[in-house]
């Protein structure tokens, strides 16, 4: 398998999950600073011109949650089989995809929603509020401690960790949300996160 990634982006959640899985994979850095994601060559790999993309035998997978689920089908220990626990993990991932990631993107990808500079400025100004609201929701409703599913790591933790690495840059201090900070600390202690950090993937 080959993971197409960009440092600091949500694609690093997939890198963490791949490290946790023990599966064989390689990484290909897509350089946003040069616009490589918009190149014709990369558009042939991912027509959305975004990361992550996971190239498997005969297929290229996109969308973080879907890729994480695919990894978990190969390594079932990364996702609980018990229906309620699995549904909780998925609900966290869906919230991240539909709400928290979108909140963050309003600061760095405002052109997706508006053209005017004043509109972009307004979106940027709103981000600390919306990300704080999301962090509070996660803290109260999602983490059963120290991970999403208590003491057991699952793919939702990789996803949540990567999104929460954006909090400080968005004007939100994780220390204000004890369960979020505990999850961040627990993830930083894992070999998978130490590896991706050593590779410069977390910035």
Fold match flag (2-76 vs 79-190) = no
Mean pLDDT of 158-169: 98
What pTM value is reported for the model?
Answer: 0.97
Angle between helices 83-95 and 155-164 (to 10 degrees): 20
Mean pLDDT of 107-121: 96
Residues of the chain above pLDDT 70, percent = 100
Secondary structure of 69-136 as H, E, C letters: HHHHHHCHHHCCCCHHHHHHHHHHHHHHHHHHHHHHHHHHCHHHCCCCHHHHHHHHHHHHHHHHHHHH
Q: What is the pLDDT of residue 74?
A: 98
Spatial CA neighbour of 79 closest among 180, 147, 4, 26: 147
Choosing among 1.10.240.10, 3.40.640.10, 3.40.50.720, 1.20.1050.10, the CATH entry for 79-190 is 1.20.1050.10
Q: What is the pLDDT of residue 64?
A: 98
- For residue 111, the tally of other CB atoms under 10 A from its CB is 9
203 pLDDT higher than 90: no
CA angle 113, 103, 126 (to 5 degrees): 85
Q: What is the pLDDT of residue 12?
A: 98
CATH class of 2-76: alpha beta
Domain residue spans in the chain?
2-76, 79-190
Residue 23 · residue 71 · CB < 8 Å: yes
99 pLDDT higher than 90: yes
Query: Per-residue confidence at 10, pLDDT binned at 50, 70, 90?
Result: very high
């Amino acid at each position: 398998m080959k993971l197409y990634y960009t440092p600091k982006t949500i694609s690093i959640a997939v890198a963490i999950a791949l490290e946790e899985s023990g599966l064989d994979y390689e990484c290909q850095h897509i350089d946003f600073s040069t616009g490589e994601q918009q190149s014709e060559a990369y558009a042939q790999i991912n027509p959305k011109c975004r990361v992550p993309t996971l190239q498997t035998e005969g297929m290229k997978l996109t969308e973080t949650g879907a890729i994480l689920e695919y990894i978990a089908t190969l390594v079932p220990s990364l996702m609980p089989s018990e229906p309620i626990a699995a549904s909780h993990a998925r609900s966290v991932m869906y919230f991240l995809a539909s709400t928290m990631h979108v909140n963050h993107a309003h600061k760095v990808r405002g052109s997706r929603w508006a053209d005017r500079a004043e509109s972009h400025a307004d979106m940027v100004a709103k981000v600390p509020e919306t990300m704080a609201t999301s962090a509070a929701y996660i803290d109260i409703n999602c983490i059963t401690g120290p991970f999403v599913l208590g003491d057991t790591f699952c793919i939702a933790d990789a996803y949540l960790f990567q999104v929460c690495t954006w909090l400080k840059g968005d004007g939100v201090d994780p220390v204000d949300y004890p369960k979020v900070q505990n999850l961040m600390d627990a993830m930083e202690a894992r070999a998978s996160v130490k590896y991706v950090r050593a590779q410069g993937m977390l910035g």
